[in-house]
């Protein structure tokens, strides 16, 4: 697995606010979106481009643009929705799939409950959006489902990862590209990332 940890002062600053339990929900949501924007710039670094010629007001010039087949964004519900506006801001014509997964509280095994993927997955770059990579069970299941649906070129975008989740993904999907904001210390006995940020879905949507 290729893992890129985004080391950027703006992301460090935003993470310090995101981690803070006193940060209110509205600000938390805005910060997750801003962190998503920074991660999106890195995650899209390998997007294929093609050469074109345009007329500037002064002369003709060769330049690059994205190849025409739009990428696919797949937020893993619920917390992945926090990254979606940032990715759509940068790629407004992207197709959006949805994947509903929740972790069973006792077993921590992901339970699928919704799935809707756009066509032509095999030909498109696919960005899986989930801020939290804890045991890695949800991300591994998301990648498994996208591969089964034809996806080949998959990038997982997370904000925080635990070493346990990285090891799980490396074992299950060595071909995956992961872009992550930070790798934290460990999981606690309930599968939460330490030091982490708490429950991302609950903080995003006010359901704690």
Using rule CB under 6 A, residue 82 touches ligand URA? no
Interhelix angle 163-172/137-148, nearest 10 degrees: 30
Using rule CB under 6 A, residue 136 touches ligand PRP? yes
CA distances to 39, 54, 125, 200 from 7, rounded to whole Å, are 10, 35, 24, 21
Q: What DSSP letter does each residue of 148-200 carry, written as one string?
A: HTT--SEEEEEEEE-HHHHHHHHHH-TT-EEEEEEE-SEE-TTS-EESS-S-H
Q: Quick one: 70 or 172, whose CB is closer to ligand PRP?
A: 172
Q: Give CA–CA dist 40/180, Å, rounded.
A: 10
Using rule CB under 6 A, residue 179 touches ligand PRP? no
Q: Give CA–CA dist 142/75, Å, rounded.
A: 10
Q: CB under 5 to 8 A by kind: which of ligand PRP, ligand URA, none does 102 bind?
A: ligand PRP
Specify the stretch interacting with ligand URA by CB under 6 A; choose among 2-10, 52-60, 61-69, 191-199.
191-199
Interface pick for ligand URA out of 91, 132, 169, 179 (rule CB under 6 A): 132
Task: In angstroms, give the least distance from the CB of 57 to ligand URA.
Answer: 50
Interface pick for ligand URA out of 101, 134, 169, 176 (rule CB under 6 A): 134
Interface pick for ligand PRP out of 19, 103, 115, 147 (rule CB under 6 A): 103
Using rule CB under 6 A, residue 78 touches ligand PRP? yes
Residue 107: both structure tokens together: 């077993």
Q: CB under 5 to 8 A by kind: which of ligand URA, ligand PRP, none does 196 bind?
A: ligand URA
Specify the stretch interacting with ligand URA by CB under 6 A; choose among 115-123, 149-157, 169-177, 193-201.
193-201
Question: Residue 145: which residues within 8 A CB-CB, separation 6 or more?
Answer: 99, 112, 115
CA distances to 24, 63, 67, 122, 146 from 2, rounded to whole Å, are 34, 29, 23, 20, 18
Where does the chain have alpha helices with state H?
Answer: 9-19, 25-43, 84-90, 137-148, 163-172, 200-205
Interface pick for ligand URA out of 74, 91, 142, 200 (rule CB under 6 A): 200
User: Taking CB under 6 A as the rule, which mask of x and - marks residues 20-49 in contact with ligand PRP?
Assistant: ------------------------------
Using rule CB under 6 A, residue 79 touches ligand PRP? yes
Residues that bind ligand PRP (CB under 6 A): 76-79, 101-103, 108, 110, 130, 132-139, 165, 191, 199-201
């Amino acid at each position: 697995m290729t893992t890129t940890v985004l080391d950027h002062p703006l992301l460090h600053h935003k993470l310090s606010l995101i981690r803070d339990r006193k940060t209110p929900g509205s600000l938390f949501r805005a910060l997750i979106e801003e962190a998503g924007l920074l991660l999106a710039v890195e995650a899209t670094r390998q997007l294929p481009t093609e050469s074109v010629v345009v007329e500037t007001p002064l002369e003709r010039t060769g330049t690059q643009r994205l190849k025409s087949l739009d990428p696919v964004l797949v937020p893993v519900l619920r917390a992945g929705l926090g990254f979606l506006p940032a990715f759509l801001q940068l790629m407004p014509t992207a197709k959006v799939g949805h994947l509903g997964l929740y972790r069973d509280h006792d077993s921590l095994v992901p339970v699928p409950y919704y799935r809707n993927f756009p066509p032509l997955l095999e030909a498109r770059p696919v960005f899986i959006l989930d801020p939290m990579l804890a045991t890695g069970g949800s991300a591994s299941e998301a990648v498994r489902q996208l591969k089964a649906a034809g996806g080949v070129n998959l990038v997982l975008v997370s904000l925080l990862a635990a070493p346990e989740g990285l090891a799980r993904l490396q074992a299950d999907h060595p071909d995956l590209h992961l872009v992550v904001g930070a790798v934290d210390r460990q999981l606690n006995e309930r599968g939460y990332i330490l030091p982490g940020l708490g429950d991302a879905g609950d903080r995003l949507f006010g359901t704690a």
